[in-house]
Amino acid sequence: MKSRARLLLLTAILVAGCLKADDGAGDDELGSLRGAVQGAFAPGSTLVWDLVPREYPNKVESVTWSLRDGSSLLVPFYRLAREQADSRVALMAHVTRDGRVTPLFAADDADAAPFTLTANVPPPTVLPCGDEAIVRICGPEDSTLWVTDIEQGRAQRSEISFAGCKAAVLGRALDGERFFLLQQRPQIVAMTEWSCQGGELQQTWVSDEPLPAMLTLPIWVEEIEPRVLAWVRHLPVAGGEVGSGQWVYERSDGAPPVSIGVSELPAPSGYDPTKHWERVRREASGSLLVDGIGGLYRWHVEDDGRVEMLGEAPSPEASGWQHVGFGTAFSSQSEPNPQLETLEVPLSYAVQLPTSDGFTSSQVPSTPCQTREACRRLGESYLRGIVHTDGGPLGLYLHWTWQLGPVPVGMSGGGGADLTALVIAPLDRALP
Amino acid sequence: MHPPARSVRWLLAGALVSLSSVASAETYYGPEIVTLSRQTIDVLKLHQHVIGQQLLLDKTPAFFELTLRSMPATLQYDDGGRSKVGISRLGLSTGFGFGKPRTGFAGFAGIQVDMVATTEFPNFFMQREGFQVGQGAVYGGLALFGFQATYGVMAETSGRGLNPQGYFTRRKFEFRPGTPSEVVGGRANQDDTLSSFFTFSHAEGLTVGATLAELGAEAKTQLAALRAQFSPVRLIDRLELREKLGVPGIGFERYAAEIDYWGDRFQDARRQAEAVANGIQNANPIPTTTSQEETWEIPVFVDDIAGTGLRARVIPQVKPEVKLRAVEVSYFLSGEGFKVGARTFAFQRGSSFTGSGEAYVALQPAFFDNFSIFGVPWVTLSYSYNTPESATFLPIPNAHVIGAQWLYGLPEMGRPLIPLVAREERSHEGGSYEDRSYGLDEEEF
């Protein structure tokens, strides 16, 4: 009997061993494509968006702002093309001065959709707030603010609704976990101070001496002394042409304003939202560095008020410069895709970067892969952003795979989704 | 209980336990096993075996061989699902002809297939979803006084059931508008090709074999393996030294850097595939623990030692580093209507030594004579463990492989399931060899 029982037990083991495994589908349907794409990227690359389905796969733009410690925050965004939330999509990426990249994901998965802007608002605006950053996303009527948690790789949307970008402008504080808001109200411009401590936005100060109403809001505001703000705004000439008038530098402590003609300091003066990236930086001396039209300028606002042209913008590649940050732009040469002429095949890219006395430009790789062929086998790549670091420039590349998302066997065609990845890769590589 | 009955029961129980352990299959993801399959299958080796045997026998006999060897495996698909299957290698070879190729004029033709596919296990007759890598050849040829030439057409499929990255899939894939035609055309699982080949051989002299294959990321056709061997069988027999000494031999083997003949890099490839398939995000591949350089070996052996059927072989590697790669001992015995053989290897895989064992039994069951219109077939069953063998299966580490073969016609025309060299039983019937060794050394790449 014992032998029979042992035999039965062994038979049961055999049957169990031969049973078919679960044939059910798993949740990572793109694992091997992800592996192939990531394996092709150049060493030192960091994914910002994992490979995700996208309805508008190549419509991504980006803007990069500098933070207090010399690091940068890069924010990708869409215009007029709303995409679904996806937890694998980082909303922005923090890049340290020495080039380390930290993708920042939405703290709440429901907020994980890439930023979508309407046509008439400026790109995302970034302000340092202590060790973190505030990101302002302008809407048609109001704006939302996001607070970063760089260490945790998160960005939290604030519940507070701020005024729209035509009615209010944000400014950097001298230090600490604060920022300022200048808001156009009937007859006056209100000045308020906000705290971002612990990721929570709180109003901490309201100026009891509001400023007189302004015809145009400042293009730049910053705290230059404790609770003393300085700003630059455009004073148009009545009936004058666009691009005429004056730039005025004013301080909230009543110091005499400093003016200069727009012709001497060419910078976008009308309300052209697409041209409002980080264009003004305050130097330690108090003078302002201005990323103007066609050149880099230093305006000695705390000295004799003169404007010095530091350098002229270099000539672009075939296309015009696409500006993505302070003094930073790229230009491309491309040809129509022979399989679909409405698409472009980028052949080469040139980038423009700011230096202490002007600009430098250079050719950079057209793909984030170790070789162009490696990327071309998998999809098309497009440069979409640039970050300047001490370790060399980094590029934000969009990679749009040839392969569509998987379609279950038996279904008719057309079911696959376009797949896009965003990756930050070093630009100072050999041109493959 | 009667002691013999108890022994039988425990023997049966032991067999069940071993079968159960065989069924606990390793998991495969696609790239590692498909690459190995592509590098291993070679229908031209089947072809060379047949035309070589024709010259040796001085006959062009009609024959049919079907060889199946299989191991249990678990496939992980790219949707995360898994299923238990068998990884099976199928060899089919059939041919016919007329005349005497060595001593006169002969003409011949045939069809051959060498394929690796997923099947049920142990029922390897039922194909399963998974992959299929194969080559098929149709050929014809002429021979005149030992000079033999063939021309053939070869079709090849390099993988089906794989996604564009080479992983097992149960779905179909599409490409977006704008995709370059070379990307669509070059996807791994639709790569069927047609080519033609010539061979030329002569009855006397040295054996030299070369395998061309598409290797590396560039997939350029290059020399994958070169094998030369000198074993003076006829001289030894003329000098009547077989009974005293055996048949000594020496060879030279060269494998391209991409060829992992001994399975040194297989586990690394599997770990890499596993990492990707399981979504471990790593922009840089897992580093391999072994270098990729071409390998040179100089095997030295004695077959049929002192006429006993024993064979001993030592394989020193001389490049990229000098080391003892393998030692082989085998034994073969044949009688009226049966053949048995066993072989064991001690060999170095990676940096450590491991061992393998295999055995087969072949029978020619007389009862077939009553109803088979094709004559009495040879039926062979085999089992192998951890064998670095690529002639009839894949050199997969620690694989339990079962095999079966049906052969109608002269047994020499079929590939041995386990390549062994045996005592020649030469009879002079019109100058031809009849019922001589069951197997020749077939460890071709």
| The two three-digit tokens of residue B21, written as one number | 């352990």
Distance to chain B for A319, nearest Cα, Å: 22
The pLDDT mean for chain A works out to: 87
B178 touches chain A (CB under 8 A): yes
Distance to chain B for A73, nearest Cα, Å: 23
Ramachandran bin of A187, using left for φ above 0, alpha for ψ from -120 to 50, beta for the remaining angles: left
Distance to chain B for A412, nearest Cα, Å: 10
Checking if the pLDDT of B374 tops 80, the result is: no
Q: Residue A412 — very low, low, confident or very high, per pLDDT cuts 50/70/90?
A: low
**Is-above-0.80 flag for pTM?**
no
Interchain CB distance below 8 Å, B164 and A403: yes
pLDDT of residue B226: 77
Which residues touch B157 (CB under 8 Å, ≥6 apart)?
B132, B133, B134, B191, B192
Interval B27-75: pLDDT, tens: 888 888 888 888 788 787 788 788 888 887 889 999 999 999 999 999 8
Residues within 8 A of A (CB atoms), B 135-174 only: 163-167, 169-174
How far apart are alpha carbons B117 and B130 in whole angstroms?
A: 7
The pLDDT mean for chain B works out to: 77
Q: Is the ipTM value over 0.90, yes or no?
A: no
Checking if the pLDDT of B97 tops 80, the result is: yes
Q: Report which DSSP code applies to B362.
A: E
pLDDT of residue B235: 81
Q: SS3 for A359?
A: strand
Distance to chain B for A286, nearest Cα, Å: 44
pLDDT of residue B90: 92
Share of chain B above pLDDT 70, in %: 76
In a mutational test of the A interface, the residue from B174, B187, B218, B400 whose CB has the highest number of chain A CBs within 10 Å is B174
Q: Report which DSSP code applies to B434.
A: -
pLDDT of residue B197: 76
pLDDT of residue B287: 45
Residue A37 one-letter amino acid: V
Q: Report which DSSP code applies to B376.
A: P
Q: Residue A239 — very low, low, confident or very high, per pLDDT cuts 50/70/90?
A: low
pLDDT of residue B64: 93
Q: SS3 for A345?
A: strand
In a mutational test of the B interface, the residue from A29, A32, A344, A397 whose CB has the highest number of chain B CBs within 10 Å is A32
Share of chain A above pLDDT 70, in %: 89
Distance to chain A for B74, nearest Cα, Å: 8
pLDDT of residue B178: 92
Checking if the pLDDT of A407 tops 60, the result is: yes
How far apart are alpha carbons B26 and A378 in whole angstroms?
A: 30
Q: Which helix (H) or strand (E) holds A378?
A: helix A372-378
pLDDT of residue B48: 79
Q: Which residues of B touch A420 (CB under 8 A)?
A: none
In a mutational test of the A interface, the residue from B21, B33, B169, B176 whose CB has the highest number of chain A CBs within 10 Å is B176
Is residue B375 within 8 A of residue B30, CB to CB? The reply is no
Q: Lowest-pLDDT range, A96-110, B318-332, B358-372? A: B358-372
Interchain CB distance below 8 Å, A407 and B174: yes
Share of chain A above pLDDT 90, in %: 59
Interval A23-72: pLDDT, tens: 444 445 677 788 888 888 999 999 999 999 999 999 999 999 999 889 99
Interval A69-84: pLDDT, tens: 899 999 999 998 889 8
B277 touches chain A (CB under 8 A): yes
Checking if the pLDDT of B304 tops 90, the result is: no
B5 touches chain A (CB under 8 A): no
Mean pLDDT of B149-156: 87
How far apart are alpha carbons A118 and A80 in whole angstroms?
A: 5
> How far apart are the two ends of chain B, measured CA to CA in Å?
52
Interval A126-140: pLDDT, tens: 999 888 999 999 998
Q: Which of the two residues, A416 and A282, has the higher pLDDT score? A: A282
Interval A249-283: pLDDT, tens: 999 898 999 999 998 999 887 667 777 889 999 99
Mean pLDDT of B332-340: 83
How far from B338 is each of B278, B288, B438, CA to CA, in Å?
A: 48, 46, 10
pLDDT of residue A221: 93
Q: Which of the two residues, A8 and A264, has the higher pLDDT score? A: A264
Burial class (CB in 10 A: 0-12, 13-18, 19+), A348: middle
pLDDT of residue B419: 60
Interval B378-420: pLDDT, tens: 888 999 998 887 777 888 888 899 999 888 888 888 877 666 5
How far apart are alpha carbons A418 and A81 in whole angstroms?
A: 15
Checking if the pLDDT of B424 tops 50, the result is: no
